[in-house]
Amino acid sequence: MKNKIYYGDNLDVLRRYIKDESVDLCYIDPPFNSKRNYNQIYNNVGKEDSAQAQAFIDTWTWDDIATQGLTEIKSNYNGVFTEQSIDLITWLEKVLKKGALLAYLVSMTLRIAEIHRVLKPTGSFYFHCDPTASHYLKLVLDAIFCVRGGDYINEIVWKRSYGHGDSKKSMGRNHDVVFYYIKNTNKYFLNRFYHTHDEKYINSFFKHNDERGLYKLENLTSPSPRPNLTYEYKGYPSPDKGWRVKLERMQELDRDDRLHFPAKKNGRIMKKVYLHELEGQPMTDIWVDINPLSAHDAERLGYPTQKPEALLERIIKASSNEGNIVLDAYCGCGTTVAVANRLNRQWIGIDITYQSISLILKRLTEHDKSLLDTIEINGVPKDINSAIALANKSDDRTRKEFEKWMVLTYSNNYAMINEKKGGDGGIDGMAYIPDRDDKGELENKKVLFSVKSNVKLSPTVIRDLNGTIERDNAACGILLTLYPMPNLVKECKQYGFYHNALINKDYPKIQVVCVDELFNGVRLELPNVVKVLKKAEQHAEQVSLF
Ligand SMILES: C[S@@+](CC[C@H](N)C(=O)[O-])C[C@H]1O[C@@H](n2cnc3c(N)ncnc32)[C@H](O)[C@@H]1O
């Protein structure tokens, strides 16, 4: 199987493309109902250090989509809902009424039921959320997983930030919750993992040191009476209940210099346990040893709510093996798929925004272009009809997707998305190129992108774009259109050229590029365009956790 990326709504993708019982592990990190919108951060732009554009929204309202979802659950669409999940949502409708929270829970229920369908009987599901709605989500998960032979295994608490109070009237909200469910209690597996020991534990227990390293002392006294293990060793009397080990084992430990003999003969012999020989603390459901990503972390790509690779590495190693299929239905900038790829798992990633899809492709192929041959990319327009379909999407949440796709594809990810379109002369994206100003000083000049999906356009569009170029003292502008516009191509000519003083070369001041040309591989061709996305750090496998 080729690894797969789907650009689209995961509900639609799951229903249409992901087969029953085909996935070994699914991790999702959906919006948490945080009542916030999340922005992608860009670097190196213009005079500012960074800029941002909305990547995805996490505000919910009771709308037509929610109404349709509720109907689908109540009518057991495709037979994926359990009786308990239908009853639960019907009851929640009564309790919560039709508002933001119910809209969120309906959206999650629809998707969790599909994820349950696509999991193999041996499969595991990790649902990453936070305490905002985790108490409701657990009910939904129980109602879908626990009544069909599956089970709830753990609530993992991940310390996702360093202590700070959100406000004076609440305690610092520092943890996320990851629910771990399995599809079949008799068939699932969990690979053992270890946490790294924390400093406090090391300092309080590993107080001894010899040429081998730091060690702690472990009791060799038997907890229950062992008359057959009662013997004196090198003049040290047996404890009342006997030793934990037979005489031969005691001698073996002694020969290997792993016994600690107290100065007084009435003391107890102890075993030396070396820190470097321990794998760590056996797995627990409190994860404080995986650091959150800081603003300047090398791993950070500027995508909001990006999770650390170490977190996904632990989950993927715990609940999958090499060659298994890992699914992330809300894959953001692709942390799950990048780690799955590195750990030789097969993977499927789904996301609804093109910023995410373009970032994932960049992240995966930046260090190895040949990886592109191993990935099947679905849902990204490949012909004029699919481009028209994207341009005509009516969902408010995906409204600007066509513009994003055109700007990011044409600019090869060198442009950033412009959010302030209304007050910004119809500009959908911006790139930057180095130039010299009138005084000969180095400066980054803007390249403006405007996207139009109209069937017909009059030359005033070009005039307006020129006006914005002049107003912003930008270098040049590119009009990206859904349909060919020969009249506008002609119109552009009269605006002449932009001269780049740094390399002493002329470029058309305004260009018109249509979707067809994009499909034929036409891309932005300007000198030294500034990178606005952070480079993905190449990760070596972290061996410490297993
Ligand atoms: C919290 S982010 C995931 C971050 C990710 N774990 C990472 O490390 O980059 C949630 C993602 O879900 C995507 N999303 C939201 N609703 C979606 C839907 N219905 N279908 C597919 N993706 C969706 C958003 O675009 C966003 O990228």
CATH of the domain at 486: 3.40.1340
Summarised one tens digit per residue, pLDDT across range 135-155 is 999 999 999 999 999 999 999
The CATH number that applies at residue 87 is 3.40.50.150
Nearest CA to ligand 1 atom 12: 330
Give the model confidence (pLDDT) of 319-367 as tens digits: 999 999 999 999 999 999 999 999 999 999 999 999 899 999 999 998 8
Does residue 487 lie within any of the structural domains?
yes
Q: Distance between the two ends of the chain, CA-based, in angstroms? A: 27
Distance of alpha carbon 355 from alpha carbon 382, whole angstroms: 17
Residue 546: the pLDDT is 22
Tell me, yes or no, whether 20 and 140 share the same domain.
Answer: yes
Of 242, 261, 277, the residue that ends a domain is 277
- Residues 189-211 pLDDT 10s: 999 999 988 888 999 999 999 99
Please report whether residue 367 resides in a domain. Answer: yes
Task: Give yes or no for a contact between 90 and 54, defined as CB atoms under 8 angstroms apart.
Answer: no
Question: Of 380, 403, 431, which one is at a domain's C-terminal end?
Answer: 380
Return d(Cα 337, Cα 360) in angstroms, integer.
8
Q: Are 407 and 524 in contact (CB under 8 A)?
A: no
Counting ligand 1 atoms within 8 A of each CB, the residue from 301, 313, 331, 400 with the most, and so the one to mutate, is: 331
The parent domain of residue 250 ranges over: 199-277
Tokens at residue 36, please?
């916030």
536 belongs to a structural domain: no
| Bridge partner residues of 23 (DSSP) | 119
Shortest-distance Cα residue to atom 4 of ligand 1: 332
Q: Are residues 341 and 488 in the same domain?
A: no
Do 12 and 107 belong together in one domain?
yes
Q: Do 206 and 182 have their domain in common? A: no
Which residue has 């028209």 as its token pair?
388
Q: Do the bridges between strand 151-159 and strand 286-287 make them parallel or antiparallel, or are there none, so unpaired?
A: parallel
Residues 509 and 393 in one domain: yes
Q: Is the pLDDT of residue 12 over 70?
A: yes
Mean pLDDT, rounded, for 466-479: 95
230 and 352 housed in the same domain: no
Judgement on whether residues 188 and 297 belong to the same structural domain of the protein:
yes
Contact assessment for residue 265 and residue 175, using Cβ atoms and an 8 Å cutoff: no
Cα 486 to averaged position of ligand 1 atoms, centre (Å): 39
How many domains, the chain?
Answer: 3
Q: What are 227's two structure tokens?
A: 């008359």
Domain membership of residue 532 (yes or no) is no
The residue type of 374 is T
Residue 478 lies in a domain: yes
> Using CA positions, which residue lies closest to atom 10 of ligand 1?
30
Please work out whether the CB of residue 330 comes within 6 Å of at least one atom of ligand 1.
yes
Residue 543 has pLDDT above 80, yes or no: no
Same domain, yes or no: 89 and 43: yes
* Alpha-carbon distances of 535 from 297, 391, 489, rounded to whole Å: 11, 30, 35
Residue 93: inside a domain: yes
Residues 77 and 178 in one domain: yes
Higher pLDDT, 537 or 382: 382
What is the Cα–Cα distance from 154 to 180, expressed in whole angstroms? 5
Task: Provide the whole-model pTM.
Answer: 0.88
The answer to whether residue 528 is domain-embedded is: no
Tokens of residue 168, six digits: 């004076």
298 in the same domain as 258: no
294 and 272 share one domain? no
Residue that terminates a domain, selected from 225, 250, 277: 277
Contact 162, 293 (CB under 8 A): no
535 within a domain of the structure (yes/no): no
114 and 132, same domain (yes or no): yes
How far is the C-alpha of 191 from the C-alpha of 31, rounded, in Å? 28
